[in-house]
Structure formats: C-alpha cells, structure tokens
Structure 1
Amino acid sequence: MFSRKRGAAKHVRAADAPPSKALAQSLASDGDAPAPEFGPWDAEHAPGDVQRLDLGSLLIPAIEGVEVRVQANPEGGVEQVVLVDGESALQLGVFAAPKTEGIWAEVREEISSAMIADGVEAREVTGRYGIELVARVTTPDGPADVRFVGVDGPRWMVRALFQGAAAADPAREGVLGVALEGLVVVRDNEPRPVREPLPLRLPAEMAEQNPAQQV
C-alpha cells in the first residue's frame, strides 16, 4: 500500500497544511518554536537519558511489556519492525522526505485510494498527531481493524500502522502509544529520493542471532 510514485513527486507545502510539531520545530530559527511535548523526535531534539533499541535510522524506547519483532534479510538489513503488546500491534516505517515539506497528506491519500480500489472503506479521523486513516480489512483470520498514523519531520516521515485493539480504539494504545511518542529518528546526511525507506539494521543484541529469522 505504500510505494514510491513514478515521475515527479507532489509534495504538501507548509502553507497547505499545519506542519507536525517535529517539522515546525526544525523550521523555526534560534529555537523560536516550543519543543514538542512528545515524539516521534528528530535526533537533534530527542530527550536524553532514555534507554533505546538502536535500529540505525530508528531508536525505539525500551518499554516493559513491549515485544519488538524484527524481520531482516540475510545481509542484516531490517525489512520490517513490529511492536506487540497483547492484542495490539504497531508496525513502524521511516522514509526520506523533503526538509521543509510534509508528505503524509499525500501518502495518506494514496493509501486510502488503494483501499477503496480493493473495496475497503477508509475513513479519515483526527488524532493526537493530526489526520489519521482508519479502516476494517479482511484477513485470513477474518475482519481486522487498522489505523494509519503519519508524522512529518525534517527530511523524514514516520508511518505507524496500528492493528488490533489499538486500531479499533486509540484509548487502548497503551504502551504502544508510549513507544510511538518516544520514537527517535536518526536521519543520515545522504541525499535520498523522497519516500525511500531509511536504512535500518539489526540491533547488536539481535545481530548475533540468525538475521534471516524473525526475532
């Protein structure tokens, strides 16, 4: 449901929609913008003294009760990151974006269009991060609720997909919501095409295991 467009990318300018707190802070000069109360954070503004799991471009806060499942290829590159807590799951992705423009609005529209083309009703709702996308999809195990959340940052965008109880009711996010608001994005200095996934790697504590398996 999330793929890079061919040809020139259409971006959402700052004047078209309010920027996220992370993006607004990066655009402010001399710290004029107030610091966000919660993340996802850009590494430049992330609070310290927090234990985090280092996946390269993503630092995931270590929270009791949250199981981190990482799917990696034989070379050790991470292809999927999913956090699990009880009946809820949170899939995380981080992608390259322009420094001063958000792309979540455009991405959200494309996800919605793809769902509608598949006969799935997708609805936009307002959440703590702005406009989210919710739907009920059909899986081999039956109907399932999903909720897409996007956060624009300086040269990055986080896409978070809640599944299960946390998708049906945001009030049930629990520790998964805490994990998302404590997420840190480490954007490298490499020029990258808009929407290209930022590189993720196995944490040192996982790399000793078979990288081709889910851990």
Structure 2
Amino acid sequence: MFRRRRREQPEAVAEQRPAAPTRESGPWDADEPHPDTERVDLGGLRLPHNPDFDVRLASVGDQHVGVVAIHGDNTLQLQALAAPRSSGLWDEVKTKIRAQAKGLEEREGPFGTELAGLLKTDGGDRPARYLGIDGPRWFLLAVISGPGADDEAVSGAFVDFVKDVVVVRGDEPMAREEPIPLRRPNEQSGGDVGDERPGFNPFRRGPEISEIR
C-alpha cells in the first residue's frame, strides 16, 4: 500500500506562495493552481493520501497504464490518456464503453454525465460507475465497481479521491488516447530507481487492466 510522501514539491521560498485554486475541486492539471497537499508521485499521476485505500499500479504487459485503489470489496480504477488540444474524449469513450458493456445507462454525476449499471463478470453481475473527466490535453477515466458503487457512503470516498488527483501530462508529443506514462514512486523519470523515501513499502504489482482503445 502506498504511504504518504513528505511533500509534493520542494520547500518554496517564503515569498513565492502558490496561487489559490480557481476551482473548488479537481482533478487538477499539474500546471494550474491546486492545493499543496501530500500526494504520491507516480509520474503522470499524483495521488492524494488515503490510509484506507490499498493503491497499486495496473498494467498491460510490462507497461504501467493506470492505478487501482482497493477498499474492502470495492475498487476505483484510474487511467489517464493523452487527448487532443482542440476537444475532449469523454463523448467518444462513452460510446466505446457502451458498445462493449451492455446495460449501462447515462446519468448525471459529480463530474457531469457518467455511465452506471451492472457489469457481467464470472462471479455474477457487479455494479459499476464510469466517470470521465476531460482536461487540457488529457482525459481521466475513473471506474468505481463493487457492491458499494451505488452507495454514497462508499463511492463518495472514491469520488473525493478523484477530486484531488493531479494529472501531469507533460510537453512530449503523444498519440491520441495514448496512456500517460506512470512509474513506481521510487523511480526517476528515466526509469532508474532513486533513493527510497522513508515510509514507502516495496511496491506491489497490481492487476492487469483492460485498455479502452
């Protein structure tokens, strides 16, 4: 399970106070003003600390493409994708999801239109909610699944988690819907393992994750 890191960024000079956020909540873009709270740095995503969640990297093969936060019998899956500068991806992604997962209906949620319903799995029907957030040149997909998906007391904690996520798109050219690269907390951007920070456990590999492209 992830542990909290000391600070998201080095100590700033006293005179250089961060600008106040212009919105009540995120997900935040790394380049916009956002609350300076303790987060876990995974490269393309910075995640808020919640000691109740067991958070693991999710992969396709050897590539880290998302994270899964586990809380009891419920999970939150997060994927950040590169998006065009001119338009968002959620309307397009919704169509793809509904073509693959029958029984999902549109409804209004905390981030606008979302998809909700029952997914057929090997263990039976499983409640699920798909939340899509279009950002500047990125798209964040959040999937809440499990018996608590429609229970506000359970899913509300996941929604609050998503509201404090920071997406780090970077300036590199990326293809449409390409996963924004993630890394282990103790790895440098080049892939080298850096110094272990106090409070981090050895990183456990998470479940395989299905691509939405």
TM-score (norm 1): 0.73
Of 29, 32, 37, 1:45 maps to 32
Query: Which 4+ residue blocks in structure 1 deviate beyond 3 angstroms?
Result: 71-75, 205-211
Rounded to whole Å, the distance in 1 between the matches of 2:26 and 2:80 is 14
Paired letter, 2:75 = A
SS in 2 for 1:108: helix
**Structure 1 residue 61 and structure 2 residue 61: aligned?**
no
> Mapping of 1:15-94 within 5 angstroms?
35-71=22-58, 77-94=63-80
1:32-61 deviations in Å (ceiling 9; x for gaps): xx8221111001124243111111110000
Bigger mean CA deviation after superposition, 133-142 or 166-175:
166-175
SS in 2 for 1:158: strand
Equivalent in the alignment of 2:126: 144
User: What stretches of structure 2 of length at least 5 have no aligned partner?
Assistant: 1-20, 187-195, 208-213
Paired letter, 2:130 = F
Rounded to whole Å, the distance in 2 between the matches of 1:88 and 1:81 is 14
Rounded to whole Å, the distance in 1 between the matches of 2:163 and 2:143 is 14
SS in 2 for 1:199: coil
Number of aligned residues: 176
Equivalent in the alignment of 2:206: 214
SS in 2 for 1:112: helix
- What value does the CA root-mean-square deviation take over the aligned residues? 2.5
Rounded to whole Å, the distance in 1 between the matches of 2:203 and 2:145 is 27
Deviation of the 1:138 alpha carbon: 1.6
Using a 3 Å threshold, how does the CA distance of structure 1 residues 194 and 162 change in structure 2: closer, same or farther? Answer: same
Q: Percent identity?
A: 36
TM-score (norm 2): 0.74
Using a 3 Å threshold, how does the CA distance of structure 1 residues 110 and 214 change in structure 2: closer, same or farther? Answer: closer
Using a 3 Å threshold, how does the CA distance of structure 1 residues 199 and 37 change in structure 2: closer, same or farther? Answer: same
Deviation of the 1:62 alpha carbon: 0.7
Using a 3 Å threshold, how does the CA distance of structure 1 residues 97 and 170 change in structure 2: closer, same or farther? Answer: farther
1:135-170 deviations in Å (ceiling 9; x for gaps): 211212221011100000000000001001342234
Rounded to whole Å, the distance in 1 between the matches of 2:59 and 2:75 is 18
Paired letter, 1:130 = G
